[in-house]
Amino acid sequence: MYAIKDLNLLDNRLESHFHYEYTKLMLSSMNLSDSQIDQLVNGCPLFEDSQLINDAANLFNVAKRENRKIMICGDYDADGICSTSMMVDLCQRLGFTVGYYIPDRLKEGYGTKEATIQSALEKGYNFFILVDNGVSTHDVNQLIMTSGSLLLIIDHHVISQQVNAHVLLHPDHLPEVYKSMCTSGLVYLICAALGMENDKMVQLAGVATIGDMMPLWNYNRTLVIEGLKSLNHAPLLQFSALLDKNTNEYDEGLIAFQIVPKLNVVGRLSDRANVNQIVRYMLSENKDEILSVSTSIKELNQVRRQLSSQMYELSKEQISDEKLLIITHPSFHEGLVGITAGQISKETGKPTIVLAQKDGSYKGSGRSSSINLHELLSEAQEHLLHFGGHAQAAGLEVGNDQFDDFSKFMITGVNDLMEHLEDDVVEVLRISADILNLRAIEEFEQFAPFGQSFERPLVFLEGLRVIRPMHNSNRNFSKWLVSVGNEEAEVVLFSDIDDSTRNGGILDVIATVTISKFLGRRKISLMAQKVAKSHGN
């Protein structure tokens, strides 16, 4: 449900900094803190010294003196792949003998396993680095510590109990500037402390920060800005080869929609490919190998899209009036449940858990933008075999005999604690089309990258006159050329609508405002979430 609001008072902290009413209106609607305004106006924070980062970096000096052999244990999502690749690259450049392993998502599940450590110990590895996991692998950590090996854990997942390690590098234990960083960002901090940062490291860290949907403030903002600068100067072939078509400009949207899904796909479909090969891909300097593997990744991503589409259609049939949705089907692929949960949650505005059915259990993922999903799952843990993750994204496993009790507990818990979800609305800012022009939008767009915790506001524009429709035969895609102020703009909608609206002459639109670029031409683009015939018609 959308709630249209008017903003009658501009933030006076912005008055002296910006020229156009559009920029002031957009920023005023975001309720920015003094620190956030300072970052937009004066630039992002630089590297800040920290004893914990120095302690993590110093472990490599200790390991060098003791001639340690390093094993890196990672994770299968974009952040896990990038952080594993970064750490392997760093260790190789530091002159270590290094191995790495990412578990099979479907066969082994999340987190480092004892069997992996035992095998590595037998091969002489005695410095273990757990990246993007480790805060919940307590038995594994104990095994490493009692073996006489060094243990460095670099993780950003929720800490539920004390972690046993020589050094735990976690954003909760770092200065404010490093809060809410993903694991790849934390690895970059170690690289910087050792003087080993480079373009490859900042590109990997920037891509992972976008991929893991980290808040784009403080040092996260620095990493993404610097990562995009590096990508636009000399992108790694591993990234450019994953694009569907060549580009003249890397931005956060291109990363999120064209690169991150392809990094994730091998881990998701581990019944068809080995995610450890993607680390090898990221580390390769062989052009032919990179191009060959990238083609395979893109082909696998097409399979993922087809399977995801089927799961989405089946999931839509199970949408109910409950405030929390629990969806399952015998055909669901375990590696794709998170994607489907995200799609359904976004469409309905409800916390959503999607589960694949396994032998003896249900395994799946949850997504929520309105409740702390990890906190609710922790209260339901007596009904769970495993769970972990973040406030807005979590993984879980439920035994068959516990499924009914788990479902009742979760739905009751949401009904009891989150009664406000019934009235959950998305606020939309009403603006006049007269304040829209390319120069005004360009002034606001200078504050890119946009993303988590710094999203372009949704705006409501009414009475837009259609110059001409630009639809194609796809019912889930509509496009209009419209008049805004003294300029033309395109309205783009990726969902089905009725023919009277599709062919309407005057439209009301809820959208985010961007600039489209094609063959050197720039045009105002309204990426619509809702389009209707104008109330005046």
Q: What is the CATH number of the domain that holds 33?
A: 2.40.50.460
Cα 132 to Cα 154: distance, rounded to the nearest angstrom: 6
Q: State pLDDT tens for residues 458-510.
A: 999 999 999 999 998 877 899 999 999 889 999 999 988 888 899 889 999 99
In a domain, 136, yes or no: yes
Say yes or no to pLDDT of 56 above 60: yes
- Does 8 map to a domain? yes
Are both 406 and 430 inside the same structural domain?
no
How far is the C-alpha of 536 from the C-alpha of 293, rounded, in Å? 55
Are 414 and 434 members of one domain? no
- Are 357 and 328 spatial neighbours (Cβ–Cβ below 8 Å)? yes
Residue 181 near residue 219, CB atoms below 8 Å:
yes
Same domain, 444 and 406: no
Per-residue pLDDT, averaged over 6-19, amounts to 85
Single-letter code of the amino acid located at 300: L
Q: Cβ(515)–Cβ(525) under 8 Å?
A: yes
Same-domain pairing of 408 and 477: no
Whether residue 386 is found in the same domain as residue 507 = no
Q: How far is CA 224 from the centre of its chain?
A: 13
DSSP string, 24-42: HHHHHTTT--HHHHHHHHH
CATH number at residue 115: 3.90.1640.30
412 and 433 housed in the same domain: no
**From CA 503, how far away is CA 509, in angstroms rounded?**
14
Residues 62 and 23 in one domain: no
Tell me what percent of the residues of the chain surpass a pLDDT of 90. Answer: 82
- Residue 287 is assigned to a structural domain of this protein: no
Q: What percentage of the chain's residues is helix, strand, coil (to nearest 5)?
A: 45, 20, 35
Say yes or no: 396 and 440 in one domain.
no
Q: Are residues 96 and 150 in the same domain?
A: yes
For residue 242, pLDDT beyond 70? yes
Q: Which amino acid would we find at residue 175?
A: P
423, 439, 471 — which closes off a domain? 423
Give me the number of domains the chain comprises.
Answer: 3
312: in domain: no
Query: Each residue of 62-73: pLDDT tens digit?
Result: 999 999 999 999
Q: Which amino acid is at 248?
A: N
- Report the C-alpha gap between 331 and 329 in whole angstroms: 5
Measure Cα distances from 161 to 20, 134, 223, 396, 439 in Å.
Answer: 50, 12, 30, 18, 52
Q: Is residue 300 part of a domain?
A: no
Q: What pLDDT is recorded for position 423?
A: 53
Structure tokens at 192: 């910087």
Q: Report yes or no on 399 lying in a domain.
A: yes
- pLDDT given for residue 424 in this prediction: 59
| Sheet with 98-101, side-by-side order of all strands | 98-101, 70-73, 127-131, 150-154, 167-169
**Which residue among 282, 300, 334 closes a domain?**
282
Q: What is the pLDDT of residues 92-109, one digit of tens each?
A: 999 999 999 999 999 998
Q: Domain residues for 353? A: 317-423
pLDDT of residue 188 exceeding 80, the answer is yes
DSSP letter for 524, please. Answer: E
- Residue 202, amino acid: V
Could you give the CA distance from residue 206 to residue 418 in angstroms, rounded to a whole number?
A: 35
The answer to whether residues 262 and 130 belong to one domain is yes
Q: For residue 446, with 0-12 CB atoms within 10 Å meaning exposed, 13-18 middle and 19 or more buried, which class applies?
A: exposed
Phi, psi of 127, rounded to the nearest 5 degrees:
-140, 110
Asked if the structure places residue 139 within a domain, the reply is yes
Confirm if 144 and 118 have CB atoms less than 8 A apart: no
Nearest CA among 75, 84, 103, 77 for reference residue 342: 77
pLDDT band at 18 (very low <50, low <70, confident <90, very high): confident
Q: In sequence order, which residues have a C-beta less than 8 Å from that of residue 209 and are 6 or more positions away?
A: 181, 182, 184, 185, 216, 220, 223, 224, 227
| Residue found under tokens 């009692």 | 146
For the segment 287-316, the average pLDDT, to the nearest whole number, is 97
Q: Of 166, 207, 221, 146, which Cα lies nearest the Cα of 52? A: 166
Mark which of 282, 306, 338 sits at the end of a domain. Answer: 282
**pLDDT confidence of residue 160:** 86
pLDDT in tens, 265-285: 999 999 999 999 999 999 999
Same domain assignment for residues 79 and 24: no
- Separation CA 387–CA 80 (nearest Å): 18
pLDDT for position 392: 87
Position 501 in a domain: yes
Q: Tell me the CATH number at 324.
A: 3.10.310.30
Spatial contact of 478 and 493, defined as CB atoms under 8 Å apart: yes
Q: Are residues 226 and 122 in the same domain?
A: yes
Q: Give CA torsion, residues 368, 374, 380, 385, to 10 deg.
A: 110
